[in-house]
A and B are shown apart, each in its own frame.
Chain A
Amino acid sequence: MGFPYDEASWSAVDGAMFMGSGTTMPGMYTAIAAGICVLVLIYGQASEMRKARQFD
């Protein structure tokens, strides 16, 4: 169950209390966060090697 926006009361919540609970949003956020980590590592590796090769 997502947050009850109509009621907008915490008394109606007895479990997950974060934004997007009970919807697909947490999964999407997790996928995006994981994607950021992977992309950053790819970019970091490429740019570091480019710089390192200047000293070869």
Chain B
Amino acid sequence: MEEQIAEMALKIAALEEAAGGGGGAATTNTVFAETFYYLTIPLMIIIHAGFLAYEMGASRLKNVLSSGVKNILAFAFIIPTFYFFGWWVYFGFPTGWDFAEGPNGISGAAFANSIAWGWGESAQYMGPNIADNISGVFFGAFALFAATTASIMSGAVIERIQTVGFVILAVILGSFAWVVAAAWGWHADGWLVQDYGLHDFGAAGLVHAVAGFFALGVLINLGPRIGKFNADGSANHIAGHNMPLTVVGLMLIIVGFWGFLMACVVPPGEAWSWFPDKFSTIYGTPITLSALSFNILMGVAGGIIGSWVLTRDPFWMMSGALAGIISVASGLDIYYPALAFIIAFSAGLLLKPLANILERMGIDDAVGAVTVHGTIGLYGLVMLGVFASGFPALQGAAGEAPTISLMGQLVGAGVFFLLGFVPGYVCSLILRILGMLRIPEGAEIVGMDRVKVPAEGYPEGIPAPGVVLNPAE
């Protein structure tokens, strides 16, 4: 009995030591930091749920399920391909095509080989490991960024693209093209960051613009839907079958964006953190969750109001909300909220006229993805150069760390445009030559669901609204 009491007393003492001493605090911090990142993953899956609803609502009845299948498959193929090679690209590419190690020592082919392949010694960091709680959580967050890029492209190409051709394009975009952009412009060793002071905290350029202009490259080769344009070049509006579903989908994307932007923040106090005691951006510059909260909300509001002025259309208003966030995403860490509102308002105003210009050029972007993500993404990147020149782009003192400049942001914008557009155009051209890009005309006319999906979206049909004669009905 006395032995048992003594043993219990020792256990209690050990527990008290753990709870009150440094070990307990460290454990608490580690658990918090890992959980912080882990929670961004399901939040970002809400982005995908939103894009799914948005695309299906924007499709006509005859294509509603095939649009859903395409979007779901993009997610499913991005995850393993990002595991196979996308994660390696992020760590291998930062310094450019020489794959050398950067100044922070966390990049280059040798480093990537040691942590990001699913075989050999590096496999220990690519699977369950009792001594490594964080690699899989980081991987998951980045894989969901990748899935977001594929979803952005997915909406633009609905109602006429082949499923396998689309999946191949999604993998090239999600597991390679945007990852190169992230390595160059997001990674602390990235040459755009080190040499040009590029600052793109919330990935307006390296996720949104790359995905938007990748979609543009694909759309040029894919061509418009049958009936979109008349012989004289004028455009017809092809309405989706369910506007409320589309608008709710857009709102879900906004919800998921909180997870997306949360994943752009680095919690403190861990071996992989920039600071022992404060949150930082991925560049190691300080940020607070308060800054995110102020500026995301003001960005959403400004974008909605700007779009409402010119359109009064809930689809464009919610697209304006997205555009509002994207237009201020690069500088969510340092914008003053009222300035974020003004920039987002201007993005909301610009949105529809820019989409109209694209349509007049003969581009059938079914959901406005090129404009919302591509053009507004670059607009946001450049706006940060206008307003934030002189701020540190990276952790460190003057002379050691680059500062934000308009020229640096313009260079980044040009690089991200090319990183999106060129692979999108070239790869879709190859697929078109191989006959893997566009569905045959007859199948497009009859509807892709009858060709691709052994199910019906609305087997009992959608009741047609009757003529309301009595206003009280």
Whether A52 sits at the interface, judged by CB under 8 Å, is: no
Residue from the list B331, B342, B388 in contact with A32, Cβ < 8 A: B342
Interface segment, one of B82-90, B238-246, B332-340:
B332-340
Interchain CB contact under 8 A, B305 and A9: no
Interchain CB contact under 8 A, A11 and B397: yes
CB contacts under 8 Å to B, within A1-53, are 3, 5-11, 13, 17-21, 25-26, 29-30, 32-33, 36-37, 40, 43-44
Residues of B within 8 A of A32 (CB): 338, 342
Whether B416 sits at the interface, judged by CB under 8 Å, is: no
Q: Known: A19-B334, A19-B335. Contact between A9 and B388, CB under 8 A?
A: no
Residues of A within 8 A of B398 (CB): 6-9
Measured between alpha carbons, how far is A8 from B395 in the docked complex, in Å? 10
Residues of B within 8 A of A30 (CB): 338
Measured between alpha carbons, how far is A5 from B254 in the docked complex, in Å? 34
Residues of A within 8 A of B302 (CB): 33
Whether B81 sits at the interface, judged by CB under 8 Å, is: no
Shortest CB-to-CB span from B402 to chain A, Å, is 10
Residues of A within 8 A of B338 (CB): 26, 29-30, 32-33
Interchain CB contact under 8 A, A26 and B397: no
Whether B391 sits at the interface, judged by CB under 8 Å, is: yes
Interchain CB contact under 8 A, A9 and B397: yes
Q: Mark B366-395, 1 if CB is under 8 A from A, else 0.
A: 000000000000000000000110111001
Q: Known: A10-B286, A36-B342. Contact between A19 and B388, CB under 8 A?
A: yes
Q: Mark B40-60, 1 if CB is under 8 A from A, else 0.
A: 000000000000000000000
Interface size, chain B (Cβ < 8 Å): 30
User: Which residue numbers of B lie inside 8 Å of A, CB to CB?
Assistant: 285-286, 288, 291, 298, 302, 305, 308-309, 331, 333-336, 338-339, 341-342, 345, 387-388, 390-392, 395-398, 401, 403
Q: Known: A3-B390, A17-B286, A43-B309. Contact between A8 and B403, CB under 8 A?
A: yes
Interchain CB contact under 8 A, A20 and B309: no
Given contacts A8-B403, A18-B291, 5 further A-B contacts (CB under 8 A): A8-B398, A10-B395, A18-B334, A25-B339, A29-B336
Residue from the list B285, B288, B305 in contact with A40, Cβ < 8 A: B305
Interchain CB contact under 8 A, B335 and A9: no
Q: Known: A8-B403, A29-B339. Contact between A36 and B392, CB under 8 A?
A: no
Residues of A within 8 A of B345 (CB): 33, 36
Taking residues whose C-beta sits less than 8 angstroms from the other chain, chain A's interface range is: 20 to 34
Interchain CB contact under 8 A, A3 and B342: no
> What would 12 A/B residue contacts be, using CB atoms closer than 8 Å?
A3-B391, A9-B392, A9-B401, A10-B285, A19-B335, A19-B336, A19-B388, A25-B336, A26-B336, A32-B338, A33-B338, A40-B309
Q: Known: A6-B398, A33-B341. Contact between A19 and B308, CB under 8 A?
A: no
Measured between alpha carbons, how far is A56 from B338 in the docked complex, in Å? 40
Interchain CB contact under 8 A, A36 and B305: yes
Residues of B within 8 A of A7 (CB): 397-398
Interchain CB contact under 8 A, B339 and A19: yes
Q: Known: A29-B342, A36-B345. Contact between A8 and B336, CB under 8 A?
A: no
Shortest CB-to-CB span from B231 to chain A, Å, is 32
Measured between alpha carbons, how far is A36 from B352 in the docked complex, in Å? 19
Measured between alpha carbons, how far is A3 from B391 in the docked complex, in Å? 8
Measured between alpha carbons, how far is A21 from B337 in the docked complex, in Å? 12
Residue of B nearest to A5 (CB): B390
Residue from the list B298, B308, B342, B390 in contact with A8, Cβ < 8 A: B390
Shortest CB-to-CB span from B273 to chain A, Å, is 15
Most buried by B among A5, A7, A9, A20: A9
Most buried by B among A5, A18, A37, A44: A18
Shortest CB-to-CB span from A46 to chain B, Å, is 12
Residues of B within 8 A of A17 (CB): 286, 288, 291, 333-334
